[in-house]
Structure 1
Amino acid sequence: MLKIDNMSKSYGRHVLFDKVGLMLNPGERVGLVGRNGHGKTTIFRMILGQEEPDEGVVSLPKRYTVGHLSQHIKFTEDTVIKEVCLALPKHEDGTDETYKAAAILHGLGIETELFERHPSELSGGYQIRLNLAKALCSEPNLLLLDEPTNYLDIISLRWLKTFLRNWPGELMLITHDRGFMDSVTTHTIAIHRHKIRKIAGPTEKLYAQLELEEEIHENTRVNEEKIRKEAEAYINRFRAQATKASSVQSRIKALEKRGTLDKLDRIRTLDFEFTSAPFQSKEMLKIKSLSFGFTPDEPPLFENLSISVGKNERIAVIGKNGKGKTTLLNLIAGELRPVSGSIECHDNLKIAYFGQTNVARLSPEKTVEQEIMFAHKDENRGVARRICGAMMFSGDDALKKINVLSGGEKSRVLLGKILATPANLLLLDEPTNHLDMHSVDALAEAVDAFDGSVIIVTHSEALLKRMAKRLIVFDEGKASLFDGTYDEFLERSGWSDDGEKVEKEVDDWQAPTGAFKGLSKKQARKLRAELLENRSKVITPLKKRVSAIEDEITRFEVEAARAEAALVAACEKNSTADIATLSKAQSAALKNIDALFAELELANAELEEQTRQFGTATAGTA
């Protein structure tokens, strides 16, 4: 499996990793989390051999294959289906597995009528989906997915979630969508302060662990600093007294031996606070029998949509891509005119609109600060600078021109402009795409606190469940209002083309080949089910054992850290009894950690061997 040993990586003075290690075990699906710019994508590039570490080793077993979602658009075939079939594993008997490519394309929302189109005719988002389909079809041992949800709609995202839960190999996933990650992964890896930390379980468990460790570090540092200052005061006071010479020298030596803990640097993060404009009336806007289509020759995107938007509403617009969600927001913002129907706005309505294409409207020659100030001309430079800092453009970064910024940085500028705009209605079209997980959480908290109404387009089911009280649903060629939460929608209605209803399709991936050749599809499926059941009986307890050992290691690490912090306090009080007790507790915890790591190594070896054996047994259906 993947092993990273003693790896370091820097870009000039910017340190990403400092002597880190990582082991990816058989069957693990891990989520990789960390702030933007802290090295998540760099790890992927080093695993793929596209970059080299400054020190250390990234190693993979022989004949161990790695697949990834490429952002590079380059196609060689003349049709979509041929391009995806290029990625299918080749079989000596010439077995045709085009059906696999078709099933995955359908799951990702690429419909049959597009199969014979040239890949270059697809939109940029669909071309990324095409690359994702190729990565899934290639069936690598390790699959690397970097933000795969950015170009998916909610239907294909639900399909992908189910597909990845059934992934037979190893998976490393980067995504800002916490709900999606937690629903797919078995472990979480954090890149935090130039180190890598891995635990069994979801993101919440990992972040709680990191928070506890940082609290222990800071308490220990404060105690140590107090002890050091008292010792230094004693030394300075009695240094010249001959009767205290021995005591002074003892304390000097003790200080030299005692290490110092540095104060942890503050990690920069986005700080959202929307500016509310007062609104006293009950109704903000009213949509009556709204219909829209781009050309008279084509069917309208939607017809006869009616909805009233009141004060402090939270409305989500959901559905497949290309069905009219962004168009609806453009109509409400006054950027498009309806074919029929009307949108009646209150005189005091003030809209702030974060749109997917609005980034292109930023002036290339303006600075970040100038763009923020332009959003609200009455704003002084100090307020603009504060907003720049909140969007992580502090100091000279606020003076950068728009034309030198990355796509994610431009997105942050646009969000900054929204923060600077007094509004009572926010229109947010996929605002999370260029944010990391912490920033998404901060945005959600700001939306919760906003004194006004919000209409949001998002494919994040976690955000939908958190925010939305009503829904505008684009499904089956029409737009309709659902007066309830997203959970209530799934319970009462659900999607007509639900991506989660694909268990049989995923299971039917495997066609009879090799040792299973000659069996009917039904017989092969039955035999494969029996093999997988036996595999589960053996592998599942081993995985649970590995997970339990990892949990025990985490528990004893916390115990050791707490004992160390308490030991420092006991030393400060010169409590001999407590010092002895806590020293024993710390030593016992450290011994348990060493023993558990040895046990973990044996458990992982057994899991790897059993996984290899069952992989060989079921290879005939692959």
Structure 2
Amino acid sequence: MLSHVHACAPGLVRVGIMATYVEILKTEFPEIDVELFDYITGVLECGRTDFEDGDEVFEAVGGVLQEVSEDRQNEEGVRNICIQMFNTLRVSRDGSQKQVLLDAPVQLSQISADTGPQTTDVEGIWMMKRSQNSTVDAKKLEKAEAKLKAKHERRNEKDSQKSSNPLVLEEASASQASSKKDSRVDQSGKNRSYDIRIENFDVSFGERVLLQGAELSLASGRRYGLIGRNGLGKTTLLKMLASRSLRVPAHISILHVEQEVAGDDTAALQSVLESDTTREGLLDEERTLNARIANGTAEGTESVRLSEIYGKLEEIEADKAPARASVILAGLGFSPRMQQQQTREFSGGWRMRLALARALFARPDLLLLDEPTNMLDVRAILWLEDYLQTWQSTILVVSHDRNFLNAVVTDIVHLHSQRLDGYRGNYENFIKTKEDRLKNQQREYEAQLQYRQHIQVFIDRFRYNANRAAQVQSKLKLLEKLPELKPIEKETEVTLRFPDNFEKLSPPILQLDEVEFFYSPDRPLFKGLNLSADLESRICIVGENGAGKTTALKLLMGELTPVNGVRQAHRNLKIGYFSQHHVDQLDLNVCSVELLLNRFPGRTEEEYRHQLGGYGITGELATRPVASLSGGQKSRVAFAQMTMPCPNFYVLDEPTNHLDMETIEALAKALSKFRGGVILVSHDERLIRLVCRELWVCENGSVRRIDGGFDEYRDILHEQFRKEGYL
């Protein structure tokens, strides 16, 4: 009936309330190709009187629909859609409803008696009629089948690549709810605030949800430390912000220090200067205009433009830029000679420092730093702490260095339980505030629990007392209205243990006497080196990158042979070594259990699992390929491998890289309890303070002991910064 005519897709009139197969097709597959759409509707139209059930419709077009479906494995979903389309065909065929496809516009008021007299008062409604004996267009069919075949081949190629490489990395994704008002304000350019507020957003990595319904607020000019256990999504969140997968106002510039600078012929200093694109653009334009003026080809307006450029260059203090870039590079450890070196001459670690220098020089509105201290020595870290304390715009930094966070950040963002919680103050303040919050929550939980129990006792006592029925009902309603009780979530404590079931060794245990060493005779590294250690030693070696710290460790371990001088070691000394590049010690193609089996054969699987479990590699993690583990998990596997033979002396080269703060704390406790000797190279101030009783400084071809420990070393470095003008 005309009272049931509804607006629908172009070319279609629908009588009754049931959707047509055309509408179903467009709704379920909105991005379907025109050729495929015509092909499928042609098949359905031709078979209108022949299809017996929905399964026959599925057999006719289901394979095609599965190919264009986002989830081509969902056969049942496509089959249900085919059943829905068959029902619309059956209704039309049985005459209980009328569906007409037109191929020429016809006004309903002009339609003859087929539709009855009720149609005459309907004006301005048009429909299209398609011939009922239409057939499938052979050319369209060939084109559609060719498209499907190509699409199918591409998918099969992707599947074969995935099957041949089981370690394909999953991709991260982010989504958020945003109001149209916010979007309009952002697009209009009227939003001039540099505060960032992202509400109700989700972040996933593959199928794993990292954040759900989270909120992040970053006030302009404040410095935020993003903390949380390894693997919870801190790095992924930074990447989502940097790629603007999460909506950051368009006028806010973002720099994410993530990848090292590409190596080419550009000098290090020039590479840093080029990161200021505004200055570089103005200088290029200035050179072009001056060349035209010199050649006499300039127009009158170009002199005016040149004056504008000079004004802007003066405004941004372009003449001071080389000096500012040089100070940043020097602070990060680049000598004057190194600043003139080409970027391709630097190692990956130095190129990462160069990337950090470029970001500091460019001064973005939002600076994203991911473990910036991993690539730096103690001297560069102390300089960076001082430099960032005067930073004017917003910083969001992920760091495991507790002292760095205490020195730099004004706020903490804690990632846990798929959400973000904000705290004012540095890391120490966060720890205190968090403990206070947990205590208050625990007291509230216990009070609510006691109150519930009190009400329940009354209900149980008078449940069957007729005189108290009204009171019991009142108490039951009260109990229902009370908020749901949730116990306090406490993060599991990280524990590490270094076994020390060995006999004491009498000194001397390990020493170097008058050792001389060089890799090239024209560049001596050490001369007259005298070092000694015993099972009571807790020594940390510090110094600038390239000063020879790792070389000194290898001389002590006997991995390098002195050119002159003598290395002496106790015959029962057993050294466990943790390399700065510990991943090189691991076979990435096997699982952790198999790795220990290959290295230490003859034990049971339970023993290997127990060893790995002591370092947090439990359950399914122990049977995953080592290559698929995170950086922190690989470090734990390296610890498990290092401690398996029960060494009585540990040499650790930068052991905190990739570890979260909880694991660093556990490492410090384990080393403090260990009864053997320890020598470590580290830039983590907290680990040094918790573990070491001696500080050795490696510089100028020697290794010397500082009696005042880390405090004296810090004072020496700060005095150098002041004298050399690096701050």
After TM superposition, the score normalised by the length of structure 1 is: 0.73
Matched, 1:425 2:649: yes
1:328 aligned partner: 552
1:63 aligned partner: 251
Instruction: Tell me if the contact between 2:547 and 2:700 (Cα under 8 Å) persists in the aligned partners.
Output: no
Q: Unaligned regions of 5+ residues in structure 1, if any?
A: 53-57, 507-622
1:29 aligned partner: 223
What does residue range 386-535 of structure 1 map to in structure 2 within 5 Å?
386-490=610-714, 494-495=716-717, 500-501=721-722, 504-506=725-727
**RMSD (CA atoms):** 2.8
Q: Distance in 1 between matches of 2:457 and 2:207?
A: 37
Q: 1:352 aligns with which of 572, 576, 590?
A: 576
2:542 aligned partner: 318
Instruction: Tell me if the contact between 1:272 and 1:419 (Cα under 8 Å) persists in the aligned partners.
Output: no
One-letter identity of the residue aligned with 2:235: T
CA change 1:363–1:63 in 2 (3 A) is closer
Q: Distance in 1 between matches of 2:561 and 2:200?
A: 57
CA change 1:4–1:384 in 2 (3 A) is farther
CA change 1:498–1:411 in 2 (3 A) is farther
Deviation at 1:262, TM superposition (A): 2.3
One-letter identity of the residue aligned with 2:267: T
One-letter identity of the residue aligned with 1:286: Q
What does residue range 259-298 of structure 1 map to in structure 2 within 5 Å?
259-268=483-492, 270-276=494-500, 277-296=502-521, 298=522
Q: 1:98 aligns with which of 322, 340, 358?
A: 322
Instruction: Tell me if the contact between 2:517 and 2:526 (Cα under 8 Å) persists in the aligned partners.
Output: yes
One-letter identity of the residue aligned with 1:154: V
Q: Distance in 2 between matches of 1:278 and 1:420?
A: 17
Q: Which piece of structure 1 moves more, 68-77 or 256-265?
A: 68-77
Q: 2:239 aligns with which of 45, 48, 72?
A: 45
What does residue range 148-297 of structure 1 map to in structure 2 within 5 Å?
148-228=372-452, 231-232=455-456, 235=459, 238-268=462-492, 270-276=494-500, 277-296=502-521
One-letter identity of the residue aligned with 1:292: F
1:3 aligned partner: 196
Deviation at 1:303, TM superposition (A): 1.7
1:84 aligned partner: 272
CA change 1:250–1:389 in 2 (3 A) is farther
Deviations 1:284-316 (A, max 9, x none): 2122112222233x3222122112212221111
Q: Distance in 2 between matches of 1:44 and 1:478?
A: 41
After TM superposition, the score normalised by the length of structure 2 is: 0.63
CA change 1:78–1:478 in 2 (3 A) is same
Deviation at 1:350, TM superposition (A): 1.8
Deviation at 1:395, TM superposition (A): 1.0
CA change 1:110–1:72 in 2 (3 A) is closer
Q: Report the identity percentage.
A: 32
One-letter identity of the residue aligned with 1:213: R
Instruction: Tell me if the contact between 2:261 and 2:354 (Cα under 8 Å) persists in the aligned partners.
Output: no
Instruction: Tell me if the contact between 2:682 and 2:688 (Cα under 8 Å) persists in the aligned partners.
Output: yes
Q: Distance in 2 between matches of 1:251 and 1:362?
A: 63
Q: Distance in 2 between matches of 1:177 and 1:500?
A: 21
Give 3-state SS (helix, strand or coil) of 1:206's partner.
Answer: helix
Deviation at 1:252, TM superposition (A): 2.0
Give 3-state SS (helix, strand or coil) of 2:375's partner.
Answer: coil
Deviation at 1:149, TM superposition (A): 1.0
Give 3-state SS (helix, strand or coil) of 1:439's partner.
Answer: helix
1:533 aligned partner: none
CA change 1:389–1:232 in 2 (3 A) is farther
Deviation at 1:238, TM superposition (A): 5.0
Deviations 1:422-480 (A, max 9, x none): 12211111000101122212211211111111101011233333332222211233322
Q: Distance in 2 between matches of 1:499 and 1:15?
A: 47
Give 3-state SS (helix, strand or coil) of 2:722's partner.
Answer: coil
Instruction: Tell me if the contact between 1:285 and 1:345 (Cα under 8 Å) persists in the aligned partners.
Output: yes
Instruction: Tell me if the contact between 1:271 and 1:442 (Cα under 8 Å) persists in the aligned partners.
Output: yes
Instruction: Tell me if the contact between 1:270 and 1:390 (Cα under 8 Å) persists in the aligned partners.
Output: no
Q: Distance in 1 between matches of 2:208 and 2:720?
A: 42
Deviations 1:347-396 (A, max 9, x none): 22221111113321212333112334566557654443234234332211
Instruction: Tell me if the contact between 1:159 and 1:498 (Cα under 8 Å) persists in the aligned partners.
Output: no
Q: Distance in 2 between matches of 1:378 and 1:504?
A: 60
One-letter identity of the residue aligned with 1:65: S
- How many residue pairs match? The answer is 496
Deviations 1:235-290 (A, max 9, x none): 46654543443233223212211122223445355421111133242432122112
Q: Distance in 1 between matches of 2:602 and 2:274?
A: 58
Deviations 1:127-168 (A, max 9, x none): 101111110110222322211111111222222122112222
What does residue range 81-160 of structure 1 map to in structure 2 within 5 Å?
81-88=269-276, 89-90=278-279, 92-93=309-310, 94=313, 95-96=318-319, 97-160=321-384
Q: 1 or 2 for the larger relative contact order (CA 8 Å, sep ≥6)?
A: 1
CA change 1:464–1:131 in 2 (3 A) is same
Give 3-state SS (helix, strand or coil) of 2:372's partner.
Answer: coil
Q: Which piece of structure 1 moves more, 122-131 or 156-165?
A: 156-165
One-letter identity of the residue aligned with 1:64: I
CA change 1:179–1:156 in 2 (3 A) is same
Q: Unaligned regions of 5+ residues in structure 2, if any?
A: 1-193, 283-308
One-letter identity of the residue aligned with 1:436: D
Q: Distance in 2 between matches of 1:234 and 1:295?
A: 88
One-letter identity of the residue aligned with 1:295: S
Deviations 1:296-341 (A, max 9, x none): 3x32221221122122211111111122111122222232222222
Q: Which piece of structure 1 moves more, 370-379 or 439-448?
A: 370-379
Q: Distance in 2 between matches of 1:331 and 1:247?
A: 83
Q: Distance in 2 between matches of 1:178 and 1:155?
A: 16
Deviations 1:38-64 (A, max 9, x none): 232233223323433xxxxx444x633
